[in-house]
Amino acid sequence: MSSSSRILNRVLLLLAGLIAFVGALFAARPLLPERLFAPWWPPVQRAIDDASHAVSSWSTPWAAADGARIAAAAGGVIAAIALIAFLLTRRRPRTRTVLRFQDRTGSTAVDETIADAVLTEPFRHRSDVLSSRMQGYRVAGRTALRLSVVPRSGADLPALLAETERGVERWDALSGTRTPVVVHFADRGGFDRLRSATRTR
Amino acid sequence: MNEGDRVGDRRLLRRELRTSRATPAVVVAVVLLGAALGTAAAAIWTTDPSGASLVQDGAVAVRTAWEEPSWRAAAAAVAGIAGIALIVLAIAPGRRRRHGRGGARVELVVDDGLLADAAAQAVARHCALAASQVSATVTARRVRVRIRPISGVPVDRAGAADAARGALERMGFGIRPVVTVDAKGVVA
């Protein structure tokens, strides 16, 4: 999901919220004091009536149905198509290919398992790390790597960060590029909270 | 690293620190999709006389309920609450309980819980207290450290604040510590 897609999420929520709120005001109109609506409601009511009358009186030479039905059907179909397109673009932009080389003989794709092996391998032997994993994703037209590390309680975070940066340097040397990397030190969740601060073998 | 890469890296960091609102947006989109398809189907269906009478019966039932003030009030309340909730979701920044910073090579994101643990442990070490006697909570701009001292043993509050600040600065986060010491201590 791109950044503009993220803005679309909020635009849709805002539009739906405004529609619901206006609907609530419309439903509550007869139950609320008249003076709240008196200054502005009559022109709005007139505009709604005029639009409704205009659509109802509209007819087509090629169909027996009146204008309101055709407008409702067309509006519903257009809205449905737009919403389906919106839903299809909501997935997280995961990618398993973290690197691609191209030359005259063809292209070589590097799977994320290779980057995972390089970046998470140092953590597999550390007693102060509960788990670590790496994922590739596309953002702003670039592939980025996201390394998530769950440290044990009491772990030395600066030491873990230094270890991570050494791993990233190894990946840079191996790949010959500087792929953007996000390192996430994640809190322990669920049963991990109950684990002790020390690891026994 | 050029300016474009820096902007891209800042964007990466922002995505980690703010929620995307994808889940509520998908729920709203599915509800609206159902309503849009229902409207289109009803409009097409009513061109047939049998469908038109069924839709008309439904419309009469809805109109009867709409005339009832209690139903109308309930509908207005539900729509109003949903509307306000959706507007708040759309406008609120949606901060995740994390802190993040850019770096020379990697963008770092740390959950607030881990930063709180690091600050609490540093304070416990500095004050020679058990870890269970120090608790910490990290908010957007400060870390609140609460110390339950040993009865009769004074606590170096300024030193505790320095220890918490130092632990967070080692990770590159300049979060201001606020230290409170409980009036009642525990028996060693």
Confidence bin at A4 (pLDDT 50/70/90): low
Domain end marker among A66, A88, A110: A88
| Per-residue confidence (pLDDT) for residue B33, from 0 to 100 | 96
Q: What is the CA radius of gyration of chain A?
A: 29
Which among B69, B91, B113 is the end of a domain? B91
The DSSP result for B66-104, as a single string, is HHSHHHHHHHHHHHHHHHHHHHHHHHS--B-SEEEE--S
Chain segment B54-67, per-residue pLDDT in tens: 777 887 888 888 88
Which residues span the domain enclosing B32? 19-91
**DSSP one-letter string for chain A:** --HHHHHHHHHHHHHHHHHHHHHHHHHHGGGS-HHHHTTTHHHHHHHHHHHHHHHHH-B-TT-SSBHHHHHHHHHHHHHHHHHHHHHHT-S--B-SEEEEEEETTEEEEEEHHHHHHHHHHHHHT-TTEEEEEEEEEEETTEEEEEEEEEEPTT--HHHHHHHHHHHHHHHHHHHSS---EEEEEPPP-GGGGGS-SS---
Residue B73 located in a structural domain: yes
Mean pLDDT to the nearest integer, B134-138: 93
Interface pTM, i.e. ipTM = 0.77
Q: What was the pLDDT predicted at B187?
A: 79
Q: What pLDDT sits at residue B5?
A: 64
Residue A63 has pLDDT above 70, yes or no: no
Cβ pair B22, A2 in contact under 8 A: no
A168–chain B Cβ distance below 8 A for any pair: yes
The pLDDT > 90 percentage for chain B reads 52
Percentage of chain A lying above the pLDDT 90 cut: 31
A200 within domain boundaries: no
Query: How far is the C-alpha of B119 from the C-alpha of B157, rounded, in Å?
Result: 14
Least confident residue range of A30-34, A76-80, A116-120, B134-138: A30-34
Question: Is the distance from CB of B122 to CB of B141 less than 8 angstroms?
Answer: no
The total number of structural domains in chain A stands at 2
Residue A112 sits in the same domain as residue A57: no
Q: Which residues contact A112 (CB under 8 A, 6 or more apart)?
A: A95, A96, A97, A98, A134, A135, A136, A145
Residue A185: pLDDT above 70?
Answer: yes
Measure the CA–CA gap between A68 and B55, rounded to whole angstroms. Answer: 15
Q: Mean pLDDT score of chain B, rounded to an integer?
A: 88
Nearest to B33 among A69, A72, A80 (CB): A80
Contacts of A31 in chain B (CB under 8 A): 69, 72-73, 76
Q: Which pLDDT tens digit goes with each residue over B72-125?
A: 889 999 999 999 999 999 999 888 999 999 888 899 999 999 999 999 999 999
Query: What integer pLDDT is reported at residue A196 of this predicted model?
Result: 63
Structural domain containing residue A25: 3-88
Q: DSSP string of A75-113?
A: HHHHHHHHHHHHHHT-S--B-SEEEEEEETTEEEEEEHH
Task: Say which residues have a Cβ less than 8 Å from residue B128's Cβ, sequence separation at least 6.
Answer: none
Name every chain A residue with its beta carbon within 8 A of the beta carbon of B101. Answer: none
**Residue A36 contacts B, CB cutoff 8 Å:** no
Question: Residue B187 falls within a domain, yes or no?
Answer: no
Please say if the pLDDT value at position A2 is more than 60: no
Same domain? For A84 and A108 the reply is no
Q: Mutate which of B6, B107, B123 to disrupt the A interface (most A C-beta within 10 Å)?
A: B107
- pLDDT for B146 beyond 80: yes
What's the average model confidence in pLDDT over B31-57?
84
Q: Which A-chain residues 134-163 have CB contacts (< 8 A) with chain B?
A: 139-140, 142, 144, 151, 153-154, 157-158, 161
Of A31, A80, A187, the CB nearest to B73: A31
pLDDT for res B148: 92
Which of A49-63, A139-153, A177-191, B27-41 is predicted with the least confidence, judged by mean pLDDT? A49-63
The beta-carbon neighbor of B26 closest among A87, A165, A182 is: A87
Task: Tell me whether residue B14 is in a domain.
Answer: no
A-contacting residues of B 65-84, CB under 8 Å?
69, 72-73, 75-80, 82-84
* CATH (domain of B138): 3.30.300
CB-based contacts of A13: which residues, under 8 Å, 6+ apart? B21, B24, B25, B28, B86, B87, B89, B90
Partner residue facing B105 (CB), from A86, A165, A184? A165
**Which pTM value belongs to this model?**
0.76
Task: Based on the fold, state whether residues B64 and B121 are members of the same structural domain.
Answer: no
- B122 in helix, strand or coil? helix
Would you state the pLDDT for residue B155? 87
A88, A107, A131 — which closes off a domain?
A88
Number of domains in chain B: 2
pLDDT, tens digit (0-9, with 9 covering 90-100), for A26-49: 888 888 888 877 778 888 888 888
Among A28-32, A85-89, B19-23, B86-90, whose mean pLDDT is lowest? A28-32
A116 with A66, same domain: the answer is no
Q: Are residues B171 and B132 in the same domain?
A: yes
For residue B128, what is the DSSP state? T
Inter-chain CB proximity A18 and B84 less than 8 Å = no
For residue B103, what are the β-bridge partners? Answer: none
Q: How large is the average pLDDT for residues B42-56?
A: 77
A121 and A182 co-located in one domain: yes
Residue A3 confidence (pLDDT): 55
Q: For residue A134, which of A150, A151, A146 has the smallest C-alpha distance?
A: A146
pLDDT at B8: 64
User: Do A188 and A151 share a structural domain?
Assistant: yes
Q: What is the pLDDT of residues B152-167, one digit of tens each?
A: 888 889 999 999 999 9
